[in-house]
Amino acid sequence: MSFTNPVYTDNFPDPGAMRVGETWYAYGTNGPTGNVPVLTSPDLVNWKPAGDALPQVGKWATAGNTWAPEVIEGPGGTYLLYYTARSTKTNVQCIGVATADQPGGPFVDESEEPLVCQADEGGSIDASPFTGDNGDRWLYWKNDGNAIGQPTYLYGARLSEDGRTISGESKQLLVNDAGWEAHVIEAPQMVRHDGRLYLFYSANAFDKEEYALGYATCEGPLGPCVKAAENPILHTSPAAAGPGHGFLVTTPAGESWLLYHAWPPSAVGSVAPGRQLWLDRVDWVDGRPVVKGPTVEEQPAPN
């Protein structure tokens, strides 16, 4: 089977994904279909809408700004959804966690307070969970410093065993100090490949064609991390503008693929079609991830 990008032509920003059984689930930033729109696919290529994973945000939040959700398996056959929403107390974006018995939800956030809320640093967004080989849980996010004219950092912290609280001090891992990053780095995802840790992230203005994706290598889950010299590894092409907020997945055959959003070059910043869902292969060359994209030509589908 072969395919061409984009793999989903409607607006679906900030994708996170996971595979349960024979089904892939993708989770996106809020839109007309709900707080956390869900897509399902048997093959990463053919996606269908599957409702709203989070019908109600937590008591601490107001609906309408539910961003960048990601889901992992929790203890006892549960699932944990980490999401960003607007705190009613602080009026900034903060991070919450909700639980469900099914990967598609409905997820419920029973907390009275957000999981992470750095109000004095502009807020906290783009939560991304990571489970180590030994079962330890970690969470990564960014402070929303660009919202208040401050630097943006990517943070990491250990999670409790149940994944619902922070169990250690948070640590700054990266800051927006490279020219291509401009005023913001965001959208972290920690990935383990061949025993090494890679922290993928995006940078620059999300609604501009300068938005792009890079990575750093890390010595441990809380660093230290060093940015790759070849960054960015995914950037605007004639076919796709502002590609980023990627999520790397591994197929059952062991292939690496990157789901990410991108604007049509003629519609950067648009509501419709908005940020479409793209999929491109990632090859590992001498320990470095190389993204084969943005690719608009027909290409073999994932195995």
Burial category of 63 from C-beta neighbours within 10 Å (exposed 0-12, middle 13-18, buried 19 and up): middle
Short-list 15, 7, 136, CA closest to 71? 15
Provide, rounded to the nearest whole percent, the portion of the chain with pLDDT above 70: 100
- With 0.85 as the threshold, say if the pTM is over it: yes
pLDDT digits (tens, 9 = 90+) for 96-108: 999 999 999 999 9
Q: Which of 109, 144, 186, 280 is catalytic?
A: 186
Count of positions (residues) in the chain: 303
Short-list 58, 198, 64, CA closest to 116? 58
In the chain, which residues have pLDDT < 70?
Answer: none
Q: How far is CA 116 from the centre of its chain?
A: 16
Give pLDDT, residue 22. Answer: 98
- Known catalytic membership, residue 297: no
Strand spans (E) along 132-264: 137-143, 153-158, 171-175, 185-193, 196-203, 212-218, 225-227, 241-250, 256-263
Query: What ranges in 69-108 are assigned the alpha helix state H?
Result: none
- Degrees to nearest 5, angle at CA 192 with 189 and 196: 120
- Known catalytic membership, residue 43: no
Q: Which of 14, 52, 70, 210 is catalytic?
A: 14
Per-residue CA distances from 290 to 94, 218, 258, 293 (Å): 32, 17, 10, 9
pLDDT digits (tens, 9 = 90+) for 188-204: 999 999 999 999 999 99
Give pLDDT, residue 165. Answer: 98
Three-state SS for 128-148 is EEEECCCCCEEEEEEECHHHH
- The answer to whether the beta carbons of residues 74 and 99 sit under 8 Å apart is yes
Give pLDDT, residue 210. Answer: 98
- The answer to whether the beta carbons of residues 156 and 166 sit under 8 Å apart is no
Ordered structural domains, the chain, with CATH: 2-300 (2.115.10.20)
Short-list 143, 146, 113, CA closest to 127? 143
- Dist CA 117 CA 121 (whole Å): 9
pLDDT digits (tens, 9 = 90+) for 114-167: 999 999 999 999 999 999 999 999 999 999 999 999 999 999 999 999 999 999
